[in-house]
Structure 1
Amino acid sequence: MSDEQVRLAELRDEIDQIDQKLMELISARATCAQEVAHVKTTANPGQDVFFYRPEREAQVLRRIKEQNPGPLSGEEMARLFREIMSACLALEKPMHIAFLGPVGTFTQAAALKHFGHSVISVPLPAIDAVFREVESGAAHYGVVPVENSTEGMINHTLDMFMSSPLKICGEVQLRIHHHLLVSPKHKDQEITRIYSHQQSFAQCRQWLDTHRYGIERVTVSSNAEAARRAGAEPGSAAIAGDMAAELYGLEKLANSIEDRPDNTTRFLIIGREEVPASGHDKTSILVSMRNKPGALYQLLEPFHRHGLSLTRIETRPSPSGTWAYVFYIDFEGHMEGDQVCKVLAEVEDEAVELKRLGSYPIGVL
């Protein structure tokens, strides 16, 4: 054997030994997770026990990223632990996660990024259906889009919070890469129509005007539906992501055709329980103010005075009357914090109504 072959054999033996140790440690972690489930179930007989702890998982993933020695990046290491934690949690009780479907959408990709691949994902046809599924208890959590860095807020999601009792339990940001996809069976045919969701058309408008000007653009309910149609219809293409391409066996005619390379969509995790503080949190509220001069100033001034950073403020028409408005506000901090409590008390004094949508960990992955 050459020196190279000898050294490679030594390294492969070392990798095998490390793999054995990894399996033993992961198995020990899984056994510990089972014991956690047993302790919780024993302490709360006959009750609906929540095994998933959003604040605890956020703390673990942050610690992994901070203490990661390399050479893998902190993000990559955290993703590996995300899947280990997902598999261990499934031993306790597999979670049902409702998402805006169908299968293959970016919302499903966001759900799997946040919860890992060991959950049972449940596609639903509309945002309000996701809310109902979680409210009824048929799903443990739901995942819905709330804003895109290019196209702004998803108004349907904001409006659902006005009447829903659900809480925001987390957030996840997903880089959105759109591809022009065709079926391998039809790739040599001339493209006469392109299917996609209206948001995707808007996010790829400049590219389409430059490279596919004049081709019919057909709006459908989701990018996954666009991919399905493109796979079945000669002369058709779809704008969709990697998950839809893989699901429907499509090939990429063009990669990453979004107009902005930083195109990102933020998704919210909705659930039935409030989340304790994780140490790096965000709070969301809905506020209805009296229609009078200086109302917006009175709403925002306490945040400035107490040093709370606003990350989003959005206005929506109030369902209670014409020309009345509700403010959707995101800010850093947790409702358990002293400064946040003081600000919310002052806002409540001036507001017609204040609805606390929830405090939750700022997205780690």
Structure 2
Amino acid sequence: MSDQEKELKVLRDQIDSIDKQIHQLLNDRARCAQQVAEVKEKHQGPQDAVFYRPEREAQVLRRVMARNEGPLADKEVARLFREVMSVCLALEQPMHVAFLGPEGNFTQQAASKHFGHSAHCIPFSNSDEVFREVEAGGAHYGVVPIENSSEGMVGHTLDLFKRFQLTICGEVKLNIHHHLLRAGVEGLDGITHIYSPQQTLSQCRSWLDNHFLSAERVPVSSNSEAARMALQQGPGAAAIASELAADLYQLNIVSKNIDDQSDNSTRYLIIGDQIVGESGQDKTSILVTVRDKAGALYELLEHFHKHEISLTGIETRPASTESSHSVFYIDFQGHSANSHIQKVLQELESDSVELKILGSYPVAVL
């Protein structure tokens, strides 16, 4: 045995020993999670027991990153713990999550990022169906897009909160990276057709102009449909889609991150029917209906200014055509259980036609 082999054997033996300890600790943690489920069912009852606690998971992930000493990056360690928690939660209660489909799109990627890969994610064709499935109890939670860094707020999602009695239980932010995919072929040669949604084609226009000025760009309904078409049409076809779509349809990624803007991201909301406790770093979302008059928005914002509460988002939504009211969707820092936030909410309620608290929830960790 050479000197190198001797040194490597010592290190590999150490790795085997560490792996054994990790394995034992993972099972210890899983058994503890099962005991947590038993305690909840004992005191809350099997039907009323709440197993998923967004605020608790956010606190755990923040502590993981705070105590991390490397060499693994903070967020990489947090992602590992995210999956551990996902597996353990599945032992307590299998999690069913509805998302805006189709399968293989960025919303599914966001759902897996937030809940981990042990959650059972179910695609639906539109956000209305996601809200309806969660409200009916067919899914524990739903995941819908709310805001894109380049396109702005998703108005239809905001309007659904007026129709459905659901709350926001969390948020997840996903960096959107588009990749060029092909079936069975490596490289860029021979591509004649590129399938993608029109919005994605626009977001990758400069890259496409530099590499495929003559290839036909074919708009389709979704990135997942683009991947399916690339698989179906053969070597001359390519798709612009996500890494998840590449895995789902077994396509090769022949060029990564072809977006014109490298900082493109989308924010998603987790919807459910539970009240989420304080995590220490929280956000609250509300819908406020006021009478149309000069300075109406200024009067609303004055309450936040007076109490030194930072807004993180505001969007105007249309009321009915016959109405003389305006509706504002507002995100701001803080939890509705805090006394200073309660003062603002009381003032807003007294000055508005209607105030609907959509939920307080942890700020996205990952």
Question: Would you call these one fold, judging by a TM-score over 0.5?
Answer: yes
- Cα pair distance change 1:320/1:279, threshold 3 Å: farther
User: Does the aligned pair in 2 maintain the 1:135–1:272 contact within 8 Å?
Assistant: yes
- Cα pair distance change 1:320/1:344, threshold 3 Å: farther
SS of residue paired to 2:266: strand
User: Does the aligned pair in 1 maintain the 2:188–2:254 contact within 8 Å?
Assistant: no
**1:337 counterpart = 2:322:** no
1:109-151 CA-to-partner distances (Å, cap 9, x unmatched) read 1111111111111111111111111111110001111111111
SS of residue paired to 2:353: strand
**1:238 counterpart = 2:200:** no
1:164-204 CA-to-partner distances (Å, cap 9, x unmatched) read 11100001111111012222269888544332223322322
Structure 2 distance, partners of 1:188, 1:339, is 58
Match of 1:252 in 2: 253
Match of 1:57 in 2: 57
TM-score after normalising by structure 1: 0.95
User: Does the aligned pair in 2 maintain the 1:68–1:74 contact within 8 Å?
Assistant: yes
| Structure 1: stretches of 5+ with no match in the other structure | none
Match of 2:302 in 1: 301
Post-superposition offset of 1:214: 5.7
**1:109 counterpart = 2:109:** yes
Post-superposition offset of 1:325: 3.1
Match of 2:94 in 1: 94
User: Does the aligned pair in 1 maintain the 2:197–2:219 contact within 8 Å?
Assistant: yes
Structure 1 distance, partners of 2:14, 2:134, is 47
1:174 maps to amino acid: L
**1:130 counterpart = 2:99:** no
SS of residue paired to 2:104: coil
SS of residue paired to 1:318: coil
SS of residue paired to 2:18: helix
Q: How many residues align?
A: 365
Post-superposition offset of 1:228: 0.4
Match of 1:41 in 2: 41
- Cα pair distance change 1:11/1:343, threshold 3 Å: same
**1:66 counterpart = 2:75:** no
- Cα pair distance change 1:334/1:229, threshold 3 Å: same
SS of residue paired to 1:356: strand
TM-score after normalising by structure 2: 0.95
Q: How does 1:1-365 map to 2 (within 5 A)?
A: 1-184=1-184, 190-213=190-213, 215-234=215-234, 235-319=236-320, 321=322, 324-365=325-366
Post-superposition offset of 1:212: 3.3
SS of residue paired to 1:184: coil
| Structure 2: stretches of 5+ with no match in the other structure | none
1:288 maps to amino acid: T
Structure 2 distance, partners of 1:42, 1:6, is 55
SS of residue paired to 2:289: strand
1:193-250 CA-to-partner distances (Å, cap 9, x unmatched) read 3322233223223333444346443333321111101110244321101110121122
User: Does the aligned pair in 1 maintain the 2:186–2:254 contact within 8 Å?
Assistant: no
Structure 1 distance, partners of 2:189, 2:8, is 49
Post-superposition offset of 1:58: 0.3
- Cα pair distance change 1:286/1:233, threshold 3 Å: same
User: Does the aligned pair in 2 maintain the 1:195–1:237 contact within 8 Å?
Assistant: yes
Post-superposition offset of 1:46: 4.8
Structure 1 distance, partners of 2:20, 2:178, is 40
User: Does the aligned pair in 2 maintain the 1:182–1:230 contact within 8 Å?
Assistant: yes
Structure 2 distance, partners of 1:156, 1:211, is 35
- Cα pair distance change 1:188/1:47, threshold 3 Å: closer
Identity of aligned residues (%): 59
User: Does the aligned pair in 2 maintain the 1:335–1:341 contact within 8 Å?
Assistant: yes
User: Does the aligned pair in 2 maintain the 1:150–1:203 contact within 8 Å?
Assistant: no
Structure 1 distance, partners of 2:161, 2:202, is 25
1:319-358 CA-to-partner distances (Å, cap 9, x unmatched) read 3636753211111100001111111111111111111100
Post-superposition offset of 1:316: 1.6
1:278-324 CA-to-partner distances (Å, cap 9, x unmatched) read 11000011111110111010010111111111111111212363675
Post-superposition offset of 1:157: 1.0
1:253-279 CA-to-partner distances (Å, cap 9, x unmatched) read 432111111111111100111101111
Q: CA RMSD in A?
A: 1.8
Per mean C-alpha deviation after superposition, the further-off stretch among 58-67 and 152-161 is 152-161
User: Does the aligned pair in 2 maintain the 1:151–1:202 contact within 8 Å?
Assistant: no
- Cα pair distance change 1:27/1:46, threshold 3 Å: closer
1:250 maps to amino acid: L
